[in-house]
Amino acid sequence: MKKIIASIALVLVSLSVFAGKPKYVFYMIGDGMGTHQVLMTEMYLASMKGELGVSPLCFTQFPVASFATTYSSDSNVTDSAASGNALASGVKTTNGTLGLDPDGNPVTNLAEIAKAAGRKVAIVSTSKANDATPAAFFAHVPDRDWGYEISQDMIEHGYEFYGGSGLRNEARTHDKKPADPIRPQFEAAGYTICNPQEFRAGYRNMSKVLMLPGEGQAVTYSIDTVNDLPENRDKHVTYSDFVSSALTFLTQDSKKGFFMMAEAGEIDHACHSHDAATVIQEVIDFDEGVKIAYEFYLKHPKETLIIIAADHETGGLTIASKRSYHLARLRFQKHSMNVLSDMLKQRMITEKAILSWEEIRSFLRKELGLWDEINVSWEDEKMLRDIYEATIAKRDPGSAKDLYADNSKIVSAAVGVLNKSCRISWSNGSHSAGYVPVFAIGPGSELFGRMMDNAEIAKMIRKAAF
């Protein structure tokens, strides 16, 4: 028996030696996706089938699973710049910093290494294309808010494919001086700026791509995308749109392989708002993008490495639901908190009237299932009504400003009532130090099979793939 085990071990060792390095690397990052964000999503999916426990996503079934710490060089709790830096370059830095070590020295990231090795590179995000996580793969600046300078770094790096929900600071430098608009500079450098539909129609004639939503389009929360009318599908640009377009572009000619970083950036934002139903749909949407990478892996299993990671946990999420029906109650929420607030605003603008408490109540009944599907205690109803009296009821129907005012307080409190009924709680409105999950599949994935620090993930990808 020992002999057999020894020879199996020998075969495995020699296989790994001869397997070679993966040519194709997918680095898929969920912003704010802590272990509990993943767990809540899987428990929700089980709950929707009337089951307890979990119904697995695609990426949680990858053969290698682990977790990582995320602290930065100046805080136990990181921001997306410092964690992006660690995930991109393997060097921990101070919060807010991109592409520099804590002493201000430039560091080399995985995308730069891939490019130098002749591989094609795509960096995409459902947040802004020059936001912290993507920027960690091309920027070298002391402050993540230097959007204009970060965009210039994008152009200078010349990767084949960039994508995002937009660009920050398109015509204004970090010291708020007006500057030449950035989009013509991308075009002068050979980039075609296009939306997913334009990309599909003409990508064969494009040499480099900057994918952004077009007129009338936006990267919306997935909960708002999936609950919109089918005829409005093209108004929404999704995580999968970015992943599939980037993959199409990179594989046109990928003899030397490619490196793709694809961030799902809005999980974080939904967690900052404590909007559990929206978080779940964002994680499901992320998984849909992972499936595209996984299908590619199935065609090229010996040459493809997929790493799933996250930059930090957001919100200090915990789940205490004892019964399957608790989490399934989140299905009654059909839109994100942002859109719900806007829907109230639109009604008040159209009707030129401040909505009554009864109207607000019936809106929350219809949009969140409160009272009808979810028991609302006397105390919670009083709390909601008090917020209504202190905010909306005080507005002047004759004032355009009041009609356009923000309704997020009442919506946020009502979503809070729904979350509470599902036994979901949030411990803070910002990031936490919580562990983040790491999953891997493909050659080199075995390196990730132990507890890690986030900076090690980049070092391991380097070791595995370059």
Binding site for Zn ion (CB under 5 A): 268
Could you give phi then psi for residue 279, rounded to 5 degrees? -60, -45
Task: Give the whole-angstrom CA distance, residue 76 versus residue 81.
Answer: 14
Compare residues 69 and 304 and give the one whose CB is closer to Zn ion: 69
Nearer to Zn ion, 70 or 152 (CB): 70
Longest dimension (CA), the chain: 87
Nearer to Zn ion, 92 or 361 (CB): 92
Q: How far is the CB of 34 from Zn ion (least distance, A)?
A: 11
Q: Considering beta carbons, is residue 315 or 443 the nearer one to Zn ion?
A: 315
Q: b/e string for 103-141 if b means 16 or more Cβ within 10 A?
A: eeeebebbbbbbbeeebbbbbbbbbbbbbbbbbbbbbbb
Nearest-angstrom CA–CA distance, 250 and 300: 14
Dist CA 146 CA 415 (whole Å)? 34
C-beta closer to Zn ion: residue 149 or 268:
268
User: Whose Cβ is closer to Zn ion: residue 317's or residue 368's?
Assistant: 317
Residue that is written with structure tokens 């999936």 in the block: 226
Q: Which residue has the tokens 């910093």?
A: 97
Which lies closer to Zn ion via its Cβ, residue 143 or residue 253?
143
Least CB distance to Zn ion at residue 267 (A) = 9
Which CB, 82 or 461, lies closer to Zn ion? 82
Q: Cα 71 to the chain's mean position, in Å? A: 19
Distance, in Å, from the CA atom of 55 to the CA atom of 44, rounded to the nearest integer, reads: 8
Going by C-alpha positions, the residue among 37, 23, 70 that lies closest to residue 457 is: 70
